[in-house]
Amino acid sequence: MDWVVLGAEELLGGEARKLKASIEETGSPLPAFAPYVYRVILEEKNADKETLAGMLAKLRIKELTAKVGPNESVEPFPAEVAFEGRFLTSPEKKPYGIPYEGALLQVFLRPLLKQAGFSRLSSLPVVLLPDLLATFEPSDRRYHLRMNVLGFPALISIPGIVLAPAKPREYYLLKRSGLDPAGLNRAFKALFIDHGDSRLPRVVAGLALQALAYLRTGNAFCDDARCSLHNAHWHHELIALYGPDEAQNAGLSQDIPLCSAHSRMVKDWKVTP
């Protein structure tokens, strides 16, 4: 299976090699690395920069607590389009924490990536993003932050790994009481994965394997909480999977965890057409 990870160098920097090493440990096919997704689209498809920026501005979620889903008929202001245009090819400089409608972004990117040379039949693009991704759930009428959005292309949100999984309940109780957020983060540092964490590339690798599993089998997730294909909703689940940050920094990293069934499955990808 051919697949490509877009934006690893820009968003993980020197840690990108850890991402490739983590995937190699699983026995699955190694991905090719490509530049940031919007740079690929602009260069390979010769897309119009302002149109691209305008679409991103339209997909930005103004209020995560909104009780209604996205309204695609609302046109963004020129300043919002100009803002997006500034960061199309330099994601590392983009301000942190801006949320976008993940499902609509996926739909928007799909034809652009196909025109840039990626075909669902021959390769899966896994797009790393510096932005938050959220999808609207009609059942409870609110947006939910996501670590990834599965399908073609597969989207992985780097800040989503930090903000989408739930932290300990005590964290939110203390936060509501008005404690200083910086001090609160320091107090709970060992209990969640943060930016700069040495485990981030391995979490990304697990999310990328979920995307491949979804493409091949239609089912991305595993019921075994000790497998990287487990659909983790809490930070303590990620920490149970990937170990303490201090161990990673000391060079005591373990293989990326997979259950026996999914370990066999990813190894089969190397020989299965």
Task: Give the number of domains in the chain.
Answer: 1
User: Domain range holding 28?
Assistant: 2-268
161 within a domain of the structure (yes/no): yes
163 within a domain of the structure (yes/no): yes
- Please, which contacts does 232-235 make with residues 24 or more away whose CB atoms are closer than 8 Å? 232/165, 233/165, 233/166, 234/165, 234/166, 234/167, 235/165, 235/166, 235/167, 235/168, 235/191, 235/192, 235/193
Res 252: pLDDT? 43
d(CA 40, CA 229): 28
203 within a domain of the structure (yes/no): yes
Res 251: pLDDT? 46
Res 127: pLDDT? 97
Q: By the 8 A CB rule, do 57 and 80 touch?
A: yes
d(CA 212, CA 194): 25
pTM for the complete prediction? 0.92
126 within a domain of the structure (yes/no): yes
Number of residues written out for the chain: 273
d(CA 171, CA 62): 25
Res 250: pLDDT? 42
Res 132: pLDDT? 97
Strands 148-149 and 154-157: antiparallel
Res 263: pLDDT? 92
Which CATH number goes with the domain that contains 196?
Answer: 3.40.390.10
* Both structure tokens of 89: 């090819």
d(CA 161, CA 145): 9
168 within a domain of the structure (yes/no): yes
52 within a domain of the structure (yes/no): yes
88 within a domain of the structure (yes/no): yes
Instruction: Tell me which amino acid residue 217 is.
Output: T
Q: How many CB atoms lie within 10 A of CB 31?
A: 24
**Alpha carbon distance, N-terminus to C-terminus of the chain:** 7
16 within a domain of the structure (yes/no): yes
Low-confidence stretches of the chain (pLDDT beneath 70): 1, 72-73, 121-122, 245-254, 271-273
